[in-house]
A and B are shown apart, each in its own frame.
Chain A
């Protein structure tokens, strides 16, 4: 791989920090948001935070493995979105609601 000029303005650790913050925001969104679509978007945010970490590490290690990994993550996220949105649609069709708290027909 050709030698890439290392960025002088933004240190690499900042990218990792940003990735950690995005991941934490995703967790918070998953736990506190009540709309299913928003919950699902929070999961996607977490996956993208992971991608940012992969690319950063890959750049630092001067390998392509991390880049390839992030492509796999994107493909899987797309497949997951296809299935997930279909599931959310059937839930909406049967219940006319997208509030997580109202999906509670199982008895304890």
Chain B
């Protein structure tokens, strides 16, 4: 091949616009952090927000010149754009909900925003990856930045512990993923997703199915760690409990959505031809994830830990959609991840405000009487919790509805039954929070509670609005998800 073929075209750069914008703005923020004075610190948050908005515009531009770029390394289709915009919006909500927190904990704001942008850039790379190399690099850019974010308050013991556990288990999982990639490469002679699919489809060149299944299983271990699916979920409660609350909100939504994006893309595009082989494993993992998440959440007294277990349970519901491996399954997973992101970030934003300096108040009982003292915030938290349960008129309801419908369409009756029973169990621990808020006598924790800062107010109201819009007009998002769910090209 002549060398000229390897020089990227202008369209290639346009297809990569969001990642380019995020990286440039992130680097600029790090530079300004070093040369700017204390006074300029608040401006960096605005700059990061502007960068994210520009990247959303960039994703739309990139979709306009959609297709594969950089020698088939990246693919820009509706699916990639959906997840790019989702993680960018998650980033915006994280920035507005972290301003008060960073001031309160007297934490330097500059590098926080830079790391956030780098992490999101990694997630955008994952969303548009069309090659196992890109999957790996995106995953690592996203993970390495979030390891630091998890331990952002250096002198806080819980932050340290959270970062250490996230780092050790995250890199352990990456090694499994990589070993799987090595075997896929060795067996098929390619790391391009479409090419791997082509090799698996041709009977003459099809590799040994046992080895291929092992390679897929190794990659599944890596992805399962990243989306906190059982039996690889043990890190999630400790990490989400120990990390700063706005970072927990980010880590339990952004990286998870991006990891599901590559999970879907790799398993449906590349491993689609051997779907009957991996389906039983994902099926089992989906059931185990739902049961572990929901039953462990029943006995939690720490709100952050409870939300961590609930986030594991929600990963289980999305795995049900992955097991269906159909177009409506993919669309249901996309819709669910979007709906889940808003309710989870909203709930964590309330926790961020409520916990106060040093995260002193994070127990379920501390919420007692919040409904009386702060009726507005309590009402918002109620919306998020009802959506997490899956009550009609909220995004969570339609998310679950589409997932279980997709599962039934793929004849996964037992999985649907177990999933529905699990949703009933989940209602108990979410309702317990609502009961404590409205029916318990106000305690010491709700006394002298300060007002909600402007940033957090935007985050909470924005998330609540998005949750309700997704619950009342689901077709706004679902139509796009349905049109872009056809992954195989």
Contacts and interface: CB of A to CB of B under 8 A. Distances in A.
B171 A80 contact: yes
B189 A49 contact: no
Contact of B186 (A39, A57, A88, A91): A57
Contacts of A40: 168, 171
Interface string B190-214: 1100000000000000000000000
A42 B237 CA distance: 24
A66 B167 CA distance: 26
A94 interface: yes
Interface in B228-276: 237-238, 241-242
Interface stretch (B136-144, B422-430, B432-440): B136-144
Nearest to A52: B182
Contacts of A80: 140, 144, 167, 171
A75 to B, nearest CB: 9
Given A87-B147, A95-B160, A106-B161, A50 B178 contact: yes
A47 B178 contact: yes
Contacts of A94: 155, 157, 160
Given A83-B148, A94-B157, A105-B158, A72 B168 contact: no
Given A50-B179, A53-B183, A72 B241 contact: no
Contact of B185 (A69, A72, A88, A104): A69
Nearest to B158: A105
B137 A76 contact: yes
Contact of A69 (B133, B147, B154): B133
A86 B190 CA distance: 36
B189 A63 contact: yes
Contacts of A105: 157-158, 161, 242
Interface string A51-70: 00110110011010110110
B151 interface: yes
Given A60-B186, A61-B189, A107-B302, A91 B179 contact: no
B164 A88 contact: yes
A69 B178 CA distance: 10
A39 B183 CA distance: 24
A56 B191 CA distance: 15
Contacts of B160: 87, 90-91, 94-95
B61 interface: no
Interface of B: 133, 136-137, 140, 144, 147-148, 151, 154-155, 157-158, 160-161, 163-165, 167-168, 171-172, 174-175, 178-179, 181-183, 185-186, 189-191, 237-238, 241-242, 302, 305
Given A46-B175, A84-B147, 6 more contacts: A40-B168, A53-B179, A63-B189, A69-B133, A87-B160, A90-B163
